[in-house]
Amino acid sequence: MLNASGHSITYVPELTPWVDLAAEHRHALHAAHAVIMGRVLRTDAAALSLAPNLRVIALHTSGSDHVDLDEASRRDVVVTNVKGVNAEQCAEFAMGLMLCVTRQILVGDRALRAGLWASRTQTSMDVHGATLGVIGLGQIAKAFIPRARPFGVQILVHTRTRDQALAGTLGIEYATLEDLLRNSDIVCLFAALTPETRHLIGPKELSLMKPSAFLINIARGELIDQQALLEALRSKSIAGAGLDVFEVEPLFASPFFALDNAVLTPHQAGLSHKAKVGAALRAARNALEVLEGNLPSDAITPRPSATTKFN
């Protein structure tokens, strides 16, 4: 799609911050009218200053918290995302991560490879009949809940906006954050990252959870105070955690690596073939639409003061 658009395309294969780009890519960035990229590259005011001709940043992710949206708006740069494009895939991954950590699937795999057969997996929690706490009720959570219900779980939901008709459709019960944490056997995070939700789960919240409870996070690493969670897992004040996201990404070294009651994956929940292709195509369309002088429905920054077509 991009090659057929008639625009000059430069591909940067590494996950390299803009300020660390090689000279040839730095030159291309300076000339660029559009950048298509993912979430891990922090794009602040200093980074944006390296692209004075930029008109659009088209993200192939739903999250945009790594981009300084205020600075982008000030520079008349449209930022777009692909929110919801991989909701189904993220929901099914959350189910897999939940089952892996609660039923000790990875523990069993490690034990078997070490020649210990079932000595470390004599028992595990019953997911069937458990109380499942869901924090956040966006598109991923709405896809996750119908997958969880056949397990016979009671589902508590904490969200800013309560829709009673939706609650009836999904078969859920709304709860305060404190009540959800106290009563859930498994807590799953699906909330968006905002200044209000950063470290939503900290020492106080973890202390409310049952010692037998598990915490699952495929949303954003910054929703959890990582040091507090590390201490809770080390002390066994909660039973375990399944984490697909972290405060610092990419993650190449961490004290979490030493814990056998944590299952860790590299932000892969949405990385199925279909989801990746869908995100790539949608991001490319968003970029080209801005270059044609239009504002995509995926835009998350205000419309620029002037729109121009670029060749």
Dihedral sign from CA coordinates of 176, 181, 186, 188: positive
What pLDDT, in 10s, does the model give residues 120-150?
A: 899 999 999 999 999 999 999 999 999 999 9
Taking the domains of the chain in order of start, what are their residue ranges? Answer: 3-84+272-291, 87-264
CATH T-level fold of 87-264: Rossmann fold (3.40.50)
Catalytic residues: 220, 249, 267
Q: Judge if 3-84+272-291 and 87-264 fold alike in CATH terms.
A: yes
What pLDDT, in 10s, does the model give residues 64-73?
A: 888 999 999 9
CA distance 56 to 106: 42
pTM, 2 dp? 0.88
pLDDT of residue 306: 42
Closest CA to 300 of 70, 136, 84: 70
Biggest distance spanned by C-alpha atoms of the chain: 67
Low pLDDT (below 70) residues in the chain: 40, 303-311
- The domain 3-84+272-291: what is its CATH number? 3.40.50.720
